[in-house]
Structure 1
Amino acid sequence: MKKTFFKFLSKVNSKVLPSFTKQGVDLAKATKLQMAIFAYKLWVTKNALD
């Protein structure tokens, strides 16, 4: 149940939230908001793969 929820959430995130790798954002120079979005997407992806 948890894994399917995170897989669904990951698909929604890929449609709604920006992709920083496609934009070429340097994470060392990213704003706090960009870092928060990156961390959230990383957390969702990690839980979807477990």
Structure 2
Amino acid sequence: MVSYRSDGIPSESELKELICQYKTNVKIKKYGNYKYALSKNKKSEELLFIGE
């Protein structure tokens, strides 16, 4: 499981591709607004990448 924010680098799709190299099934759960301490973007969401 990886916790990430939607406006991070690499992008959501790039990170999923990376995780798919090690896990055959990757699910992404999105949770509402997430304020990262150093980010000025107020529209980012928390993403949980769950690999099985």
TM score, norm. by length of structure 1: 0.28
Higher strand share: 2
Q: Greater relative contact order (Cα 8 A, min sep 6): structure 1 or 2?
A: 1
Higher helix share: 1
TM score, norm. by length of structure 2: 0.28
